[in-house]
Each structure stands twice: as structure tokens, then as C-alpha cells.
Amino acid sequence: MPNIEQLNKLIGQFGKLPGVGAKTAQKMAYFMLAQPDSAVKEFADTLLKSRDLIRCCPHCQNLTDRPLCPICADPKRQKSAICVVEKPEDVEAMERTRTFTGTYHVLHGLISPVNGIGADQLRIRELLHRVAEEEIEEVILATSPNVEGQATALYLNKLIKPFGVRVTGLALGIPVGGTLEYADSLTLTRAMENRRTFE
Amino acid sequence: MPNIEQLNKLIGQFGKLPGVGAKTAQKMAYFMLAQPDSAVKEFADTLLKSRDLIRCCPHCQNLTDRPLCPICADPKRQKSAICVVEKPEDVEAMERTRTFTGTYHVLHGLISPVNGIGADQLRIRELLHRVAEEEIEEVILATSPNVEGQATALYLNKLIKPFGVRVTGLALGIPVGGTLEYADSLTLTRAMENRRTFE
């Protein structure tokens, strides 16, 4: 560690970023100090302004800089279907497919007792409110197929079923372009169970 | 790219950091937006405060948050020897060895015509001023042994020699723990040329 207190603080801040270790944080701090004052100010301003302008859409909880996010505000989107995802990045991934025309609901996390994240820390209340108040026909639970994602989906299924809404999940199987040889047994089992008839 | 202008600006700022690609920048931006307001404010404040407090030592040009850096201010350091390095990180690397007791001079770059960096953009004038005004006995040119580092060292040697000061460079050879088998021919040639007598 360098012998300058303020520099160590700066390295500490960069070290908090995801995927940044001690060495990279140090590199970033030195990089920042080699920049002109205006560039550092722009970085700091962008940070503060982003945090200030970008908030959660009050309807679907996705990030947006408008009062209502573009998807919720779009009259062409099918309001009767909600695709429930873990985080804003998942909405983006889904939107890239250009096939889903319904709306989203972002949980901002998954139930994870190991990490101390309970159901009350997620945006589940807002989801149930939508299911109760709006004319919803289908809720697609699109959380990732890992332990936390599955647990969250099972929990949500139990809560939503009583409203008489169809609850579905994404298909599990071999990814397109994948090879049987390197697929894990669990994926292969699911792919076999959910095999489809050629048309 | 997400559909939020301010978010794209934030991603753009993270993308400027060294070693951060488009995907990582996006991850960092989303991470930042998931933080509480106070954490984002702390990050921005640390950035601004660091740029404000950390300046170059007027004597050796190394980064410091004091009027004179601790090495230049230390009466125990041998003021007659200057180790010339490319950047502040190099001073740290050198200090970790705990063997050099002289002072440093940080150039803040290397001569690199390809990248449009000329001698006038480095802190060479300040180095020559020290050599001319102080009682310097030895200048160790410790720039990295690559094209730019060698070119800068040769250039500095030409400038410093007329002052009648001893100019030296770091030894080139096999790194400790290295293997002959994987050493490149140039390094091996230098190691052979500079071979030493066993005592």
C-alpha cells in the first residue's frame, strides 16, 4: 500500500467495485490521479447525477430516469403478462430477444438466507399488488435456474397461485449451440424430461 | 446498451478506467446504482478530494498529500543519488525492496513518439534542475527495459553526462526464480554479457 492516506482511501473505493481486486484498484486510483481535474470532476458528477436521476419505475421497479419506465408507459405492451426477473440487467437480456411483448417486474435480488436476504427485502409486495389490482393473466417466473433463483420462484408461485393467475417458468434444456458432450447431467435430465415432438 | 441516457453516461465513465471493457463497465454502473445514496456520495467525494489533496512533490514529482513528499523530507535519505523512474508505482516497487536509500525522480511517462509523447511533456526539466543545483553524485536511470524506457534512458544520459555526474542503469538478466528454458534470447544474451565472478 502506498504511504498516502487519501490515496489509500481512493484505492479502497475502487476496490469496492465488482471484480476489482487490490492490484486493479491501485491501478485505477493511479490512473484517476493522472487525469486532468476536469475529467475527475466529470466522473464524480456523473456518479452523483446518475444516482439522483435514475430511480426505480414505481410500477415494474426497473431502473429508469423517467416517472414511468418506457416499457410500462408503452401502450403497445401487453399489460396482462408479467415477466419476473432478478435484476435490471435481466430485463435488458430479455428485451434483446425482441420476442416478449408483456411487461416486467424486477425483484432487485433473490431470496438467499446464506447472504441474509429475506423475502421482505425484495420487491415482492409491489408484485403482489400488481397481481391483485391489475388484470393479469400470466406471471412468468424468469429467475435464474440456480438454488436462490429456484427458491425465489417456488416462493412466488405459492403466493401468486391463490389469485387464480397462470404461473409459468422458463424452459430448461441444452442451450442453442451447446454440445451434449459437455452438458451437465442435471441439464441433460431436464432436456430429456421436457423433450418436444417434431412437427 | 440500456435505454437510459444517464446510465449510458455512467457506463461510459467506468469504461474509461484501465482494464475495464464494455461488459465490466455495465456491471459496475448497475452495482453503483444498487448502492445507497450515501455510498455513491462517498465514492464521488473521495474522487474529488483525492484529486484535490494529492499533488506532485515539487522536488521529486512523486505523488504526495504533503508540501514535500516523505522521502524528500527524510533527512536520513542520501540526497546525492537520484533514481529516475517512469511513474509513482515504480517508486513503490523500489521502496518495497528496502535497499535503496537515495531519492527518486518521477518522470510521469516515457518518451514515445508513437503515442505523441515528447520529452517536453515529462518532468525532465525538473530533473536537470536538480542535477545542476544540488550536489548529485549518481543518477540511476531505472526506466523499464522496453523500447520507450530505453529511448528515454539514452536521451536522459545524453543530457545528464555533461554535468559530470555518474549515470547508471539497472542490471539486465534472468529474474530470480526464472528458468533459462523460458528466458527470451535477448535477456539471455544480456545475462551472458553481464555475467559475474563467483566470490
Residue-wise pLDDT tens digits, A138-186: 999 999 988 999 999 999 999 999 999 999 988 888 888 878 788 888 8
Write the DSSP symbol of residue B124: H
Q: Which residues pair with B33 in a beta bridge?
A: none
Q: How far is B100 from chain A (nearest CA, A)?
A: 17
pLDDT at residue B44, as a whole number = 95
pTM exceeds 0.80, yes or no:
no
pLDDT at residue A77, as a whole number = 95
Per-residue HEC secondary structure of A46-80 comes to HHHHHHHHCEECCCCCCEECCCCCHHHHCCCCCCC
Between A and B, how many residue pairs show a Cβ–Cβ distance under 8 A?
A: 136
Residue intervals in chain A for CATH 1.10.8.420: 5-53
For cell 449451440, what's the residue?
Answer: A177
ipTM exceeding cut-off 0.90 for this assembly: no
Given CB atoms, is B115 within the 8 Å cutoff of chain A? no
**Residue B104: strand, helix, or coil:** strand
Give the separation between CA B120 and CA B126, rounded to whole angstroms: 11
Beta strands per DSSP E along B4-90: 55-56, 63-64, 81-85
Residue A194 pLDDT > 90, yes or no? Answer: no
Given CB atoms, is A5 within the 8 Å cutoff of chain B? yes
Q: Verify whether the Cβ–Cβ distance B17 to A9 is below 8 Å.
A: no
At the topology level, CATH places domain B74-197 in Dna Topoisomerase Vi A Subunit; Chain: A, domain 2 (3.40.1360)
What is the architecture, at CATH level 2, of domain B5-53?
Answer: Orthogonal Bundle (1.10)
Q: Verify whether the Cβ–Cβ distance A26 to B87 is below 8 Å.
A: no
Residue intervals in chain A for CATH 3.40.1360.10: 74-197
Residue-wise pLDDT tens digits, B63-98: 999 999 999 999 999 999 999 999 999 998 899 888
Q: Which of B16, B39, B49 sits opposite A6 (nearest CB)?
A: B49
Given CB atoms, is A87 within the 8 Å cutoff of chain B? yes
Average pLDDT over residues A26-37: 93
Q: Verify whether the Cβ–Cβ distance B28 to A17 is below 8 Å.
A: yes
Q: Verify whether the Cβ–Cβ distance A18 to B26 is below 8 Å.
A: no
Q: How far is A89 from chain B (nearest CA, A)?
A: 8
